[in-house]
Structures are given as C-alpha cells and as structure tokens.
Amino acid sequence: MHGGPGLNPPSVVVAIGHFGNFELYARFVQYMPNIRGATTYRGLRQPSLNLLMQGMREKSGCNFFERRTDAAALRAWMKPHGCLLGLLADQHAGVGGVRIPFFGHECSATASPAVFALRYDCPLRTAICYRVGVAKWQIELGEEIPTRENGKPREVVAITRDVNAAFEVAVRRDPANWFWVHNRWKPDKPKTLPSRPRAQVWMTGGPGSGARPPPPPASRFQESHSTHHG
C-alpha cells in the first residue's frame, strides 16, 4: 500500500481468519506508519474482562469497532484514504450469511469483506498468519480478489466464495495452524414464528347451570379508584 507523492495510500479490505497467532494481525499497522488500521470484534459478556482484553489489543495502535454497536463509527472511519480494514471471515455466519461450499460442504459465511470492498471501492485481499518457528510467525498477503468484472460489480456470493477458497488453500497447507473449535458447517436454525396466545376454555357447570367465566382482573386505575373512594 503506497500512495504517490503527496497522496494518501489507497484503502484496502483484508479478509482474515483464525490462523496462527491471529492477534498479531492488529500489530501489522505498527510497521506501516502511513496506514490507519482497524478491525471489528464482538465484546465479551463480562465487562471487566472485556475492558482488560481491549486495553491490551488497543496498544497495537489498531482501531477496534464493536460489530453490533459501532457500525456508524466504522462507516465514518472508512471515508478517508489510507485505511486497512481487517475482517475475520472464517466463522459461521448463521442466517445472516451467504451459503457457499467450504471443503465440499455447504456452510454459512460472512459477506462483510465483499460488501465493504464494493461499498468503498477498495481492493480485497486475504492475509494468513503462519507459524514458521518457535514463537515466530509470518503474515502472508494473498493475491487481490476481483470485485469487478467487465466494469461491473461481481456478485457478493461469488466474491465470498473466492475468499473461502483462499482459506481452503491455507488450511490444506497447514491444517494444525487453523484454530477452530466448533462446527464450521452448522445448518441454519429455522426462523421461529411468534407464539400465538392459547385460547382459554371455561368449564361451565353443564347446560342451564348459569356458570360464567371469572371477570378480568381489575386495572390499576380501577384498584386505585376503589381504594380512594371505597
């Protein structure tokens, strides 16, 4: 990523995954002072632990945006040039993802790298962190993934398929380097319809008994009215 004389370098979107020491991705910007780096994360449920974790991560100089609450802030951050946005893209994305093949089996994958690259007209690449020795890692930048064809945007699904094809190559190269601890090929959960209230059946005492259902409970207004004017 280099700009011309007096120009800011172009922005780029990088699809990353849980390869090797994946926390090192955020430290990449320390070696490129003319680049502003950012990524997204999902906050931990324990506030104190989340604060500790983010405090250590932010020492890298990378900007972190909570994926569920910081969407507007991330969009504003992307507007200037010279942005390097790394997005974890090897996770099950549920019903919000796109269905693509991964190692021959259909799975749900996030389309975020493709969407951001198209929206901000940025080059899209992958980056893989490989372990090359004891306490030594190397981050390799992949070839640019085309986001346009014949001057027109490619389909998001097709771009996402190419991203995951690059991940397949990385996993085959070093299977133990891919950190994955749950089912990557989970089926989507069916959407549940809102439950309908059950009808209440009142037992009458039989024909001619004159039994009626109990009256509805008094409202708060009725209760306070009867209390003050009893």
Instruction: Check if the beta carbon of residue 13 is closer than 8 Å to that of residue 85.
Output: yes
Tens-level pLDDT at each residue, the chain (230 residues):
444 444 567 899 999 999 999 999 998 888 887 889 999 999 999 999 999 989 998 888 899 999 999 999 999 999 878 899 999 999 999 999 999 999 999 999 999 999 999 999 999 999 999 999 999 999 999 999 999 999 999 999 999 999 999 999 999 999 999 998 878 998 877 666 565 555 554 444 455 545 555 555 554 444 444 444 44
pLDDT of 204 = 47
**Residue 82: CB atoms within 10 Å:** 17
pLDDT of 138 = 95
Pair type for strands 36-41 and 63-66: parallel
pLDDT of 92 = 93
pLDDT of 71 = 93
pLDDT of 217 = 53
Residue 204: inside a domain? no
Residue 96: inside a domain? yes
3-state helix, strand, coil in the chain (%, to 5): 30, 25, 45
Residue 2: inside a domain? no
Query: Which structural domain, as residue segments, surrounds residue 19?
Result: 12-177
Residue 187: inside a domain? no
What's the domain count of the chain?
1
pLDDT of 4 = 45
Residue 214: inside a domain? no
Q: How far is Cα 115 from Cα 153, in angstroms, rounded to an integer?
A: 11
Residues ≥6 apart with Cβ < 8 Å to 205: 211
pLDDT of 144 = 97
Residue 47: inside a domain? yes
Beta bridge partners of 105: 102
Residue 197: inside a domain? no
Secondary structure, 3-state, 176-190: HHECCCCCCCCCCCC
For helices 156-173 and 112-119, angle between their N-to-C axes, nearest 10 degrees: 130
Residue 54: inside a domain? yes
Instruction: Check if the beta carbon of residue 184 is closer than 8 Å to that of residue 17.
Output: no
